[in-house]
Chain A
Amino acid sequence: MEHLLYIGALICVWVIVSIAVNLVIGYTGMMAMGHAAYLGVGGYTAASLNIFFGVNFFLAMAIAATVSAAVAVLTLLPLLRLSGFYFALATLGLNFVFFDLFHNLAPRVEGSEGLHGLKLPAALVSAEARFATLLAITLLCVLAAKRLVDSPLGRLLRAARDRPEAVSAIGKNPTTCQIVVWGVSGAMTGIAGALYAATLFYIDPTLFTLSASIAMLVFVGVGGLASIGGSILGPVLLISFTESLRFIGLPSQYTGPVQQALYGALLIGLMIFRRQGLLGKYDFRE
């Protein structure tokens, strides 16, 4: 049971990330492929503050959200002038750049490669409490995201996704919308990063690599573009599936490769048969 609660918590983290990524990829059509970097920034900010300065974890999480948002926007600004595909490529590069940054510069507890020793509040210690807390936070993120995408701003995002030039023709600045939503996405990813650390009690650079970004892409792609429900479905489906592999008797050394191969196959299948994903409304923006 405890184990399931832990997996539940893990799923919550990835749901938040997927929603954050879907906000930019699905609703705004910005091909974000480097969110692992922001996840890492969030995780490291929260963990460092909590471990080295004894900042209350939830406060640290809030700060982490802000920092991630800031980093996200700062990394976005220079990339804004890039056309869709080169934009994707540049964000992809972020994964590698930030990995080396984390690996070479990020603080680490002596003798290990990363950070442990979080001083967690009661609400995050026991398995039950942690799951409940994460579920609550995830719910908040879902509601916030829903509020955003159903708002006039969200409408503008979806408009800009298809016809940025027409958006300026009706007197709204599409670029501003993009920056705003990217910041929101960054903040959410930062929160997820903090919760990720709280779920694992530990973070190190190997958690924030290209493969994490790919996982996000798969979750969003499978769940469905521009669909909050999809971003919930995606991680729930895939994580519970791969974790269930542990239980249905498959020797555990195959879960790793099977999972990776599965993700690969899913990506191909999606691109051929259903580019908008299970619950998606739109196609990928080319």
Chain B
Amino acid sequence: MLAIGLGLAGYYALVAVGFALIFATLRIFHIAHGTVFISAGYLFFVLHRVNGLELFTSGVISVAVAAVLGLAIDKLVYLPVMRRGGGLFSVFIASLGVSLIFEAGFLAYTKGVVSVARTDTLDILSAGSVAVRTLDLGVLALVAVVFGLLYLWLHRTQVGLEVRGLTDNSPLAAVVGVNVDRTRNHIFLLASALAGLAGVLTAYDMGINPDTGTRTLFVAVVAVILGGVRNILLGTIVGSVALGILTAYAGFFFPEWVTFSVFLTMILLILWRPQGLFG
């Protein structure tokens, strides 16, 4: 049970951290982040499963494309909206629009059939009654590494410094000479790449439906709200783990109420402390 929860937490964390980065620094509520996630998943599915391209290559390509897609969404949708004076909410609506379009596309393509990018059954390490899939271990290790690198990026590099500058107060950062545009690009590329990675893994592991993207995103959002956007790394980790375990146990005890519990948690959290536990 715990293993499952942590496994899920891994995926959530990858999506959530990117979302948190974007929301905390640019005040963009990036629903379409889920679109980036799912697009990578489908691209991976098409490359690897349909066209039989080799696993690793397809993975890398998908992640790269995801990164670019994320940047493109920002350049083609968010920037225009903001340039014309659109605020948090307008951008949010536009983002919703983006995810609608993509979801429609994937629906037309898959007709709603779940797409699993693997045929093989995964090998498992079983110790007595507990059986853990090696994939879960792999994912957790990967996530750990990613977050390690993220930490270095945020605290050791110039861009990272600027990013943290933005988290505190965007206009101020502009004043003290942060190149907002460049940092913005970095953020979108990185965040989208991470979402792409999560998408690839999910498509490989459990398979994806056209609405998996939005669903996963909302879970990630809850995770971020839970953890709080101020403290990006710690916040998302704690949030994702908590949520992974919540959903895992909800799925165990009252499977019919998983969505319900996730979003009730979200609403209650917003009411309790919008700034999150570590806000």
User: Measuring CB to CB, which residues of chain A are less than 8 angstroms from any residue of chain B?
Assistant: 31, 78-79, 81-86, 88-90, 93-94, 96-97, 99-101, 103-104, 214, 217, 221, 254, 256-258, 260-261, 263-268, 270-273, 275, 283-286
> Quick check: which of B38-46, B95-103, B145-153 contacts chain A, the rest being far away?
B95-103
Tell me, in angstroms, the Cα distance from A261 to B98 when the chains sit together. Answer: 9
A284 and B89 contacting across the interface, CB-CB below 8 Å: yes
Whether B91 and A90, one on each chain, are in contact in the complex, defined by CB atoms closer than 8 angstroms, is: no
Pick 20 A–B contacts, CB within 8 A, sort by A.
A81-B271, A83-B274, A85-B88, A88-B89, A90-B266, A93-B263, A94-B267, A96-B262, A97-B264, A100-B259, A104-B256, A257-B105, A260-B100, A260-B104, A268-B97, A268-B98, A271-B86, A272-B77, A272-B80, A275-B86
Query: Counting CB contacts under 8 A, is B107 at the interface?
Result: yes
A275 in contact with B90 (CB, 8 Å): yes
B270 at the interface (CB under 8 A from A): yes
Residues of B within 8 A of A99 (CB): 259
Give bound CA distance, A178 to B77, whole Å: 32
Choose one: B81, B107, B108, B218; the contact of A271 (CB below 8 Å). B81
Q: Are A272 and B84 in contact (CB under 8 A)?
A: yes
Are B97 and A264 in touch, CB under 8 angstroms? yes
Separation in Å of the B174 CB from the closest CB of chain A?
19
**A272: nearest chain-B partner, CB-CB:** B80
A167 to B24, CA, bound (A): 32
Cross-interface CB contact of B93 among A100, A104, A284, cutoff 8 Å: A284
Cα A104 to Cα B259 in complex, Å, equals 12
Interface centre among B80, B92, B267, B271 (most CB of A within 10 A): B267
B87 in contact (CB, < 8 A): yes
State the Cβ distance, A276 to closest chain B Cβ, in Å.
Answer: 11
> Do the beta carbons of B90 and A264 come within 8 Å of each other?
no
What 8 A-B pairs have minimum CB-CB distances, sorted nearest first? A264-B100, A286-B87, A267-B97, A100-B260, A264-B101, A260-B104, A268-B97, A271-B94
- Total A-B pairs in contact (CB under 8 Å)? 124
Bound complex: CA of A90 vs CA of B263, how far in Å?
Answer: 9
User: How many Å lie between the Cα of A97 and that of B263 in the bound state?
Assistant: 6
Determine the distance from Cα of A220 to Cα of B101 in the docked complex, in whole angstroms.
Answer: 19
Chain B residues packing against A (C-beta within 8 Å): 29, 77, 80-81, 84-94, 96-101, 103-105, 107-108, 218, 221, 256-257, 259-260, 262-264, 266-267, 270-271, 274
Most buried by A among B91, B100, B271: B100
Contact B90 A82 (CB under 8 A): no
Q: Is A214's CB under 8 angstroms from B94's CB? A: no
A245 to chain B, nearest CB (A): 13
The residues of B that contact A263 with a CB separation of less than 8 Å are: 97, 100
Q: Which residue of B lies closest to A96 (CB)?
A: B263
Query: Which residues of the partner chain A approach B97 to less than 8 Å between Cβ atoms?
Result: 263-268, 271
Bound-complex Cα distance A286 to B259 (A): 28
Given known A-B contacts A82-B274, A97-B267, A272 and B93 have beta carbons under 8 A apart: no
Q: Which residues of B sit under 8 angstroms from A286, Cβ to Cβ?
A: 87-90
A residues near B100, Cβ cutoff 8 Å: 214, 260-261, 263-264, 267
Give 6 new A-B contacts, CB below 8 A, not counting A79-B267, A85-B89.
Answer: A82-B271, A96-B218, A260-B100, A271-B90, A275-B84, A285-B89
Contacts of B259 in A (CB 8 A): 96, 99-100
B89–A78 CB distance below 8 A: no
Question: Bound state CA distance, A129 and B77, in angstroms?
Answer: 46
Query: Which residue on B lies nearest to A275, using beta carbons?
Result: B90
- Smallest distance from the beta carbon of A223 to chain B beta carbons, Å? 15
Which residue of the partner chain A has the closest CB to B76? A268
Return the contact of A97 from the options B81, B86, B99, B260 (Cβ within 8 A).
Answer: B260
Partner of A214, one of B77, B96, B263, B274: B96
How far in angstroms is the closest Cβ of chain B from A39? 18
Q: Please, how many angstroms separate the alpha-carbon atoms of A189 and B273 in the complex?
A: 30
A268 contacts B77, C-beta separation under 8 Å: yes
Write the nearest CB–CB distance from B138 to chain A, whole angstroms: 31
B54 to chain A, nearest CB (A): 32
Quick one: given A264-B101, A271-B93, are A79 and B108 in contact (CB under 8 Å)? no
Q: Which residues from chain A contact B80 at a C-beta distance below 8 Å?
A: 272
> Which residues of B are found within 8 Å of A100, using beta-carbon distances?
256-257, 259-260
Contact (Cβ within 8 A) A261 B271: no
Nearest residue (CB) in B for A211 is B100
